[in-house]
Amino acid sequence: MPAADREFDIVLLGATGFTGGLTAEYLAQHAPPGLRWALAGRNEPKLAKVRERLAGIDSACKELSLIVADTADPASLEALAGRTRVLATTVGPYQQYGDPVVAACARTGTDYLDITGEPEFVDRSYLAHHETAVASGARLVHACGFDSIPHDLGARYTVLQLPEDVPITMRGIVRTNAAFSGGTFHSAIGAFSRGRQMQQAAKARRAAEPRPEGRRSRGVAARPQRDSRLGVWLVPLPTIDPFVVARSGAALERYGPDFRYSHFAGVQRLPYAVGGAVGALALLGAAQVPPLRRALLSRIEPGQGPSPQRREKSRFSVDFIGEGGGRTVHTRVSGGDPGYTETAKMLAESALCLALDDNPPTAGQVTTAAAMGEHLTRRLIDAQMSFEVLSVD
């Protein structure tokens, strides 16, 4: 069915999970009148409980449709995707559960959104489904939460403060006091345990993906160092974010002829920086040993997350230092609890943006900056996330 004629504007898959429930609550609070949206998952009684909770926020949610679909049942996913214009999913780890959902959306021409931070999944998704989505018109937009919207849209925001058609070097520095949920922990350990497979997927994608003609855009590895401008120690972060930013740079000519981006955590004191690096290496090593990996995973169950009180105290900021054309720009993106409250906001606003806004014509696997840059930035500013220019030299 053509997307314009479908039953729903947005369907949220995974609404019974921790982040899925927060996303459903955000939509109940902020969806415009007349938006046709629904909840989907594999357990109808649990979906009904979510709907009952949402009805306490907005009585109109009593009428929300509930759709039973299971990531282990491709036919149910294809039927689900064919009923909606946009399908947003919080069902992870995505390396384990995500591919059938992407496949269904690519085949049916349905826009797809997730909150993955798993590079291997994103690369394999590109290899398996990008061309199908280009043909069907579907936009496949991964990493629509804290991974990687603040970094992707923040880098774009910074580029716009610099001269056009010049080489640009940029670094992003993340700082947060937030806790994480069981789902995030399981996804991270799963990714750590698949280093070889992740490298293979990245290599295969590099061989298959066209490069921009006459331009370059790269994520650049960097060493730990002291940042004199910010007064913090910089610890390289091996996350999906620099890959996403570099792909936006490849897709958008405004990033200039040679765009380079490096990604860091910002730490005030050197001992904390060293301790964090050692802890990350220990976690990486433990993930390679099956008994240790199972022991780690047993400590935190998926579906668990920080309390409302803990999330209320959590904050994040991402500083960007961009240099090009003789100008240096310092910008910042900041907000509340990054992993859950703000991630739910970012996913919901991304779904609303794809469903309702006049975005640039794109198809296939695309980044948030390429698919929704200006409109999604404006939505997030209106939703109390901060994008600001701190200095221009």
Adjacent-strand bridge partners of 330: 321, 391
Considering all CA atoms of the chain, what is the largest pairwise distance in Å, rounded to the nearest integer? 60
Nearest to 25 by CA among 253, 308, 327: 308
* pLDDT average, residue stretch 294-307: 67
User: pLDDT for 176-223, tens place per residue?
Assistant: 987 655 555 666 666 667 778 889 999 999 999 999 999 999 999 888
User: What are the residue ranges spanned by the domains of the chain?
Assistant: 3-145+342-377, 149-338+385-392
297: amino acid identity, one letter:
L
**pLDDT exceeds cutoff 70 at 303:** no
Structure tokens at 382: 């209106």
Nearest to 347 by CA among 20, 76, 2, 33: 20
CA angle 359, 76, 55 (to 5 degrees): 70
**pLDDT exceeds cutoff 80 at 296:** no
Adjacent-strand bridge partners of 256: none
Indicate the SS3 state at residue 50. helix
**Cβ-Cβ contacts under 8 Å for 162 (sequence gap 6 or more):** 168, 256, 322, 323, 324, 325, 327, 329
User: pLDDT for 263-291, tens place per residue?
Assistant: 999 988 665 555 665 565 666 666 676 77
pLDDT score of 166: 98
User: pLDDT for 317-328, tens place per residue?
Assistant: 999 999 999 999
pLDDT score of 309: 86
Mean pLDDT of the chain: 91
Distance CA 385, CA 125 (A): 29
In order of 14, 333, 344, the CA distances from 381 in angstroms are: 26, 10, 15
Q: Which fold has domain 149-338+385-392?
A: Dihydrodipicolinate Reductase; domain 2 (3.30.360)
Residue 224 pLDDT class (50, 70, 90 cuts):
confident
CATH number belonging to domain 3-145+342-377: 3.40.50.720
Burial class of 17 by CB neighbour count within 10 A (0 to 12, 13 to 18, 19+):
buried
- Cβ–Cβ under 8 Å, residues 130 and 365: yes
Please give the model's pTM, rounded to 2 decimal places.
0.93
Structure tokens at 267: 């730490």
Structure tokens at 108: 């049916």
Nearest to 322 by CA among 133, 158, 121: 158
pLDDT score of 15: 95
Tokens 């740079």 — which residue? 249
